Amino acid sequence: MPYVNIRVAGTLTREQKQQIATELTDTLERVANKPKSYTYISFDELPDENWAVAGKLLGSGD
C-alpha cells in the first residue's frame, strides 16, 4: 500500500499517465511517508457514456 485508483472519462496518453503516477507517488512519499516502492496506482478510462454528472451522461449534447 497505498493503492490509488484514478477514474476518468475519456482517455489519457501514456505520457499523461506516467506524469500523474510520478507526481502522485512523490506526493505520497513526501507528505505521508509512503515509500515509493509501496505505491500502486491504477487508471480506469471510461467511455463518456459510462459517466453521469447531475443525472446526465457525459457527451449528451444537451
Q: Binding mask 3-42 vs its own copies (x if CB under 8 A, - otherwise)?
A: xxxxxxx--x-x-xxxxxxxxxxxxx--xx-x-xxxxxxx
CB of 15: closest distance to its own copies in angstroms? 9
By CB under 8 A, residue 55 contacts its own copies: yes
Tell me how far apart the alpha carbons of residues 58 and 24 are, in angstroms, rounded to a whole number.
26
Tell me how far apart the alpha carbons of residues 32 and 26 are, in angstroms, rounded to a whole number.
10
Cβ within 8 Å of residue 5, ≥6 positions away? 41, 42, 44
Q: Which residues bind its own copies (CB under 8 A)?
A: 1-9, 12, 14, 16-28, 31-32, 34, 36-46, 49-58, 60
